[in-house]
A and B are shown apart, each in its own frame.
Chain A
Amino acid sequence: MSSTEQGTSSAAPAEPTTAPESAAAPEVPESFYYVHGKDKVVHKVSAGALQHSALIHGMISNLGYTEEQAKANPFPFENIDGDILQMVVDWCNQHKGKPTPPEDTNLPKQKEKLFDLVLAVNYLEIKELLTYCCKQVAMMVKGKSPEEIREIWMIPTDAEDEAAEKEAKKRAGKEAAGETAAAAGDAK
């Protein structure tokens, strides 16, 4: 990448203030950043699209990456599945610089996917998309009895929860006892 390109990419965040000065001025090339999820597949996203994510936006402004540096160091989101990250990137690209519509009908209907999307979006701090996703969750909960919600969203009952907690404690206790026994053996 040439030095001039580097210069333009670093000047990109100032674009909204400089653009109105002269309408005939040549269009400033957009800068791009790179992200990857659990599957290590790198996605190229424009800075404008990434503005939706408060987390990435903050990272970009703190790091002050040049385009070359950004390409060499894609932002790693190991806790997000590749297909979910792709969905998020697509959404950000689609809504780049546009006012968000009141409804979004392209959200996944599968609850597992939707759930993962909520977690990812919440982590990436994409406020508008989180609202759409949560609205979709609310629609899926609407009109359902507690039992139905429990069944659909795999929520354990209080009794099941307690039993699982007890078992986990027992297991932890046993593991701790095993570890101390092993440590004592090593000491001998």
Chain B
Amino acid sequence: MNPKACLEHLPEPAKRNVLMWCPYSSVIALGKTCTTWREFIHVPNQNLLIKRIMVKFGDNSFRLQVGSSHTSGKLQNSDLLSVQYQQLARDCGVTYENFSYRRQKKTWIEGGDYQDLFVKDLKILRKLLGNSTLENFEVDCETLQSSTRGRELKNQFEGFLKTVTDIWGPQGIATKSLRMKFMNEHQAAKILSHTVPNTLERISFLPMDVAGISSGGNRLGLSVLSVLPQWKNAKFINLTNFLARSTMDPILYFESVLVHWLFFEPQHLRIAMEEFVSGRCLTKNFTILCKQIFTSIELNLSTLGEAVHVGKRYTWYYHTKSPGHVVELTLVESQKISLRMIRGEGIKHGANVIHFPFSSPHFFCFR
């Protein structure tokens, strides 16, 4: 047999078998050992179980986090590897951190470019994934402190997004869950549009500002996002942190909304409403604007309880678990629906506060 026990010379079936048992951290480590392994790993569809990919943008640094799972007997072990690529002067520092083993290792590459190294590794990952669907994809933007370089950083972030989406190509990122931290709606739409329609089950939006600079002066909404096909079939939409600026009410834009006696359409709106009324929604107030609200009058709005009715405007007040607070539900026919938590004394004269007639548990509360 071979006198030199060199992994480089393993036959292909054995290599494939070894990879099957390796967590991603080992796969990427093997890929960095020699050309033979690197080329072997570049072959798509190695059937490696990559569950989660997170790409993170920072000032002169990118981070790639990969969560994989590998079978050990009958058990599935999860493994999380984080690789940070950082530019310092002319050199590039690459830090590997394996959460399973709590090991951290930093290497310096003289004259290396952090962006090139990031792109190389992301390309490997993309190939490893083949056509499989990820459990979770995250695009994150670290809190950027430099207000003077705000515009420059925004441009860098745009470039970063382009790099990531280009690697996936026109077929898009197949993922069940998308979590994204972005600076403006346009960027969020760009990320979302690069996911494969009908695969997303959960979307988390985390809008952010760069060092207090507002997002181009526009109110943060979902007018672009909400019309994308990727958004339509998602079952869970997390609108966390939509009150980034305390003065602003989050506004959701829809082409059309149907208000029915027990549910709202589109479905994700109903979930948002249910989460709001059951106190699970982190957004304390939100307004839904749409071109048209279909309210079948024959459906009988009275099922929502006794309303204060002025012209096309209906207002309901519901009890909450928060002392002194009520939920105000306003519906303006064909225009908007809004839900907000107000103090009890703010209710309209003559209106009654009632218990919410559907959705169990029937309570509202501040979180």
Chain A interface residues toward B at CB < 8 A: 79-81, 84, 102-103, 111-112, 114-116, 118-120, 122, 130-131, 133-135, 137-139, 141-146, 149-150, 153-158, 161
Contacts and interface: CB of A to CB of B under 8 A. Distances in A.
Interface string B7-43: 1101101100111111101100110111101000000
Interface stretch (B96-104, B192-200, B342-350): B96-104
Contacts, number: 108
Contact of B25 (A115, A143, A155): A143
B152 to A, nearest CB: 34
A137 B30 CA distance: 12
Interface residues of B, number: 36
A143 B5 CA distance: 20
20 contacts: A111-B5, A112-B5, A115-B1, A115-B5, A115-B6, A116-B5, A120-B1, A130-B13, A131-B17, A137-B10, A141-B18, A141-B26, A142-B26, A143-B26, A143-B101, A144-B29, A145-B29, A146-B33, A153-B7, A156-B34
Interface in B79-138: 96, 98, 100-101, 103, 105
A77 B13 CA distance: 20
B36 to A, nearest CB: 8
B8 A134 contact: no
A141 B30 contact: yes
Given A150-B33, A161-B35, A144 B6 contact: no
Interface of B: 1-2, 4-8, 10-11, 13-14, 17-23, 25-26, 29-30, 32-35, 37, 70, 73-74, 96, 98, 100-101, 103, 105
Given A81-B1, A144-B26, A145-B29, A137 B11 contact: no
Contacts of A153: 5-8, 33
Nearest to A80: B1
A149 B105 contact: no
Nearest to B31: A146
Given A122-B13, A143-B103, A157-B34, A116 B1 contact: yes
A62 to B, nearest CB: 22
A130 B100 CA distance: 26
Contacts of B32: 146
A41 to B, nearest CB: 16
Contact of B14 (A112, A122, A158): A122
A145 B96 contact: yes
Nearest to B12: A122
Given A102-B74, A131-B17, A142-B26, A154 B5 contact: yes
Nearest to A110: B5
B22 A141 contact: yes
A166 to B, nearest CB: 14
B22 A119 contact: no
Nearest to A38: B1
Nearest to A131: B17
Contacts of A120: 1
B1 A158 contact: no
B23 A142 contact: yes
Q: Is the interface of B mostly helix, strand, loop or mixed?
A: mixed
A134 B21 contact: yes
Contacts of A118: 10, 14
Contact of A134 (B20, B30, B73, B98): B20
Contacts of A115: 1-2, 5-7, 10
Nearest to A101: B73
Q: From B11, B17, B35, name the one whose CB has the most chain A CB atoms within 10 angstroms.
A: B17
A158 B7 contact: no
A144 B96 CA distance: 11
Contacts of B96: 145
Q: Which of B2, B7, B13, B105 has the most CB of A within 10 A?
A: B7
Contact of B8 (A84, A119, A138, A155): A155
Contacts of A146: 29-30, 32-33
Contacts of A79: 1
Contact of B34 (A112, A122, A135, A158): A158
B226 to A, nearest CB: 45
A159 B144 CA distance: 39
A137 B105 CA distance: 22
B160 to A, nearest CB: 25
A111 B22 CA distance: 17
A84 B1 contact: yes
Given A143-B101, A143-B103, A119 B1 contact: yes
Nearest to A135: B21
A137 B6 CA distance: 12
A138 B22 contact: yes
Given A80-B1, A154-B5, A156-B8, 17 more contacts: A81-B1, A115-B10, A119-B10, A130-B13, A134-B14, A134-B18, A134-B20, A134-B21, A137-B7, A137-B18, A141-B30, A142-B23, A142-B26, A143-B101, A144-B29, A145-B105, A154-B4
